[in-house]
Structure formats: C-alpha cells, structure tokens
Chain A
Amino acid sequence: MAGRTAKTTKAAKPRASSTARTRVKASPKSKSAVKVKATVKKTPVKKNTTKKAVIKKAVAKKAGVKKIVVKKVSARAKVAVKAKAPAPKTPNKKASVKKIPARKSSVKTGGRVKAVDKVVAAARTVKRAAAAQASPENAKILSELADLAKYIRAAKREIAAIRPDDVKDEYLPKAADELDAVVEATADATNSIMDACEVVEGVMSDVSPEVSAKLMDVTTRIYEACTFQDITGQRIGKVITTMKHIEECIDALIGAFGARGRGAKKKTAQHQASAPRQGDGKNITDADLLEGPQLGANAKSQAEIDDLFANFD
C-alpha cells in the first residue's frame, strides 16, 4: 500500500525545473547538453551553428514555424544579461523558476499547507513564467502542467470518494477491536477446555489403569489441539500490525491530498437521514438488526436479556 501511495504521489510530482534563461528540461540528456555548451564556449564556433541554435531551429520547425530569424547578440550583451540580479517576484515579469522542493510526506492536517497544495502552487509559478514567454518548449510545459492539474484534481476526487478519514477513524479501529475480542475469546475458551482436562486428569487415579491410560491419551490430544490459540493469536497480531501500517498510509494520503472532512460530514448526514429511529421501531428492518456480537459494555449478559424478556410478560 505504501509503495502504491508513494508511486501515486511521485507520479504527481512535476519534473525539476531550471531557470527561465536555460533550457527547462532536467533530464540527463540536457545535463550533458549543458556540459557540451560549456565546452562549446571555449572553442570559437559560428553562432548559427552552435548546438543550442541547431536544437532551437529543429524545435521551431516541428512547432510549425516557417521562418527563423537569428538574433545577433554581442558577447558583451550576453555577459551583461548574466550579470543581472535575479528576476523580480512580480508575476508578469520574467522570473527565475524556483526549484520545486522535494515532497515531504505530510501527516499533519487541519490548517497546514498540504504537500499537494505546495505542488499546485509551484506549478502555477512555473505556468506563469512559461506563459510570459511564448515558445514551443513553453507551450509543451503549459500542456504538461494542464495534464498535471487534471491528474491532481482527479486523484483528489478519487481519494475523497473512498472517505479515508472514515476508514481511519471508524473502520480500522472497529476491526482492531473485533480482532482483540477474538484473541480474548479464544484464550478464555482454551482455558476453559484445559480446566475440564485437569478435572479429568484428577479422576484418572480413581479408574482402572487401562481407562487411565485412555484418559491420559485423550487429554494429551486436547492439550495439543489447544496450541491453536497461540498460533491464531500470532496471526491476528500480524493482521493488526498490517492494519496499523494501512492507517499510517491513510494518514499520509490525507496529509498529502487533504481529503479529510468532506467524507465524514457526508456520511454523518447520510447516516442521520437513514438511521433507524429508536423507540418507535417502525423504521428498523431485519438487516438493521444484524450487527453480530457486541464488544465490551455494549454486550448484554444472559441475566440482562432475561430481565428484558421478563419485562415483556
């Protein structure tokens, strides 16, 4: 589950960005291209035939540009541009795109900025910067950002639909309580069985050796069978550990996508609308009555049932 969650959130993470002045891709290819650029600088090459220029022309042609005019920029002008201070933060001007910080798994909610919101904010910054400069590369970036936004919205909707806060706050704790009750019940039953076996062992000396041997054999087999309780207890323990891990994953999911609140409120509203009314008994169906064994204080003893029964007479 953790792996799937991680993959989902990693898939939503946009590629690392670079400054507006350099090529926006951060792939190994472009890194080597940067290296090539550095070496190209040292050797005197005509401006029109630099690798950068060639790539730009190819991209422009692909995008359908019919005429390419090569700007002649003096080396002095280039140095002056590079020496400029970092671009201002106002949205419409050329801005150096901030590197999107690594996603921190956020478990905290309730007022704090969620991880996915940070991604969305960073994506908006990139979008504004890209929109400020019309170019084929930026068009591609804008298109990818639009896809990313769609993906995040769809993921948020799907996560909210499974109501992760209900799963965490209601279903998982209930399941854990039921499993604890299973372990306790089997332990009680095993002890009762062994109590009975010990009584049988106690009377073995009062019977013939033949019968005594048979009783010994039978009680031994009962003790052997009782070891099931240890195994089932351990297996249930593993299930509870798995459930705790699922709970942590759900916490991380809620923290990243902020899918808390809506589901619970919806469910509460639905529950209130459809809950059988206590007292008049008119709305209670047979299906509503099937809840299985109760836990703890909710479980009525036989004596309490007998009292209730007697009250109907």
Chain B
Amino acid sequence: MAVDKSMNVLIVDDYKTMLRIIRNLLRQLGFENVEEATDGTMALEKLKEGGGNFGLVISDWNMEPMTGIELLRHVRADDKLKHIPFIMVTAESKSENVITAKEAGVSNYIVKPFNADTLKSKMVSVLGDF
C-alpha cells in the first residue's frame, strides 16, 4: 500500500534549528504536513488533541520536562496512540539507550548527526516504500 505523504508528522526536539532541519528534509521527501513540539509534554498534548491522527512521530531523547523515551512510553500506553510509528532521532548512541528504546516500543532509531538518506531509509522501514 502506497504511503500517504499528506499524513500528519509530529517532530519533537528542544533545539529549534533541529526542528527546522528535519522539517526541511521531510519537505524534500514530500511530507508537508509537519507539526512541531519542543518537549515530550507538548508533543503528548498535540497527539492527544489530534486523536491519534498522526501518521508518524520523530522525536529527540534528551528534553525537559518530558524526555523522548517518556513520551514513547506514554504513546505506547495509550490505546488511541499506540499504533503510531515512532522514530527516535538522538545523539544518545550507547547500546543501553537503543535497548531501552526498543523495549519501550520504538519503531526505529537514528543517531545524530544523520543524513537525509538515513532518515528516508528509516521512514521507509516503518511506513513502507515511498
């Protein structure tokens, strides 16, 4: 089934420049409906308000007051949100981090700094080919 590029994508990062970079890369890949949040709490509010209408979440790990891993756990614990693919994009590269994220239900994991090809390949792995 073809990926609907008009889906809503939520990107979460406390660095505004990173949000802008990811937004621009997503636009280059054809995903225009992008919403932003600067921490896990804001992101969770947007997801709940959206009623689970987001097709993808791309989130950083290290944020306050709610980290990306905490956001992931909340998303996976919520029946209306748990189906949403969740990609962690973070500078945290230790094995323990990857294992923890995997155990929490992450769909895929990207380590910063990353390139556009990596972002695309991970998105394809969770959404399907586009």
* Interfacial residues, chain A to chain B (CB-CB below 8 A): 187, 190-191, 194, 197-198, 201, 216, 219-220, 223-224, 226-231, 233-234
Contact = CB atoms under 8 A, between A and B. Distances in A.
Contact of A227 (B16, B62, B113): B113
Contacts of B91: 230-231, 234
21 contacts: A191-B17, A198-B24, A216-B28, A219-B24, A219-B28, A223-B21, A223-B116, A224-B25, A224-B113, A224-B115, A224-B116, A226-B17, A227-B112, A227-B113, A227-B114, A230-B13, A230-B15, A230-B18, A230-B91, A230-B112, A230-B113
B112 A231 contact: yes
A139 to B, nearest CB: 57
B15 to A, nearest CB: 5
Contacts, number: 54
Contacts of B28: 201, 216, 219-220, 223
Contacts of B114: 224, 227
Q: How many interface residues does chain B have, given as a range? A: 10 to 19
Contacts of B102: none
A191 B112 contact: no
Given A194-B21, A230-B17, 16 more contacts: A187-B15, A187-B17, A194-B20, A219-B28, A220-B28, A220-B116, A223-B24, A224-B113, A224-B116, A227-B113, A229-B15, A229-B17, A230-B13, A230-B18, A230-B91, A234-B91
Interface in B69-99: 91
A111 B18 CA distance: 50
Contact of A228 (B13, B20, B113): B113
A219 B62 CA distance: 27
Interface of B: 13, 15-18, 20-21, 24-25, 28, 62, 91, 112-116
Contact of B24 (A194, A230, A231, A233): A194
Query: Taking chain A's interface residues, is the majority helix, strand, or loop, or is none over half, making it mixed?
Result: helix
Nearest to A190: B17
Contacts of B116: 220, 223-224
Contacts of A230: 13, 15, 17-18, 91, 112-113
B20 A191 contact: yes
A229 B17 CA distance: 8
A166 B81 CA distance: 54
A233 B113 CA distance: 12
A122 to B, nearest CB: 44
A226 B62 contact: no
A227 B24 contact: no
Nearest to B119: A224
Given A220-B116, A234-B91, A227 B21 contact: yes
A227 B15 CA distance: 10
A121 to B, nearest CB: 45
Contacts of A190: 17
B89 to A, nearest CB: 10
A201 B32 CA distance: 14
Contacts of A194: 17, 20-21, 24
A216 B25 CA distance: 10
A21 to B, nearest CB: 56
Contacts of A191: 17, 20
Nearest to A225: B113
A201 to B, nearest CB: 8
A162 to B, nearest CB: 34
Interface centre among B16, B25, B113 (most CB of A within 10 A): B113
Contacts of A231: 91, 112-113
A185 to B, nearest CB: 12
A233 B15 CA distance: 9
B58 to A, nearest CB: 13
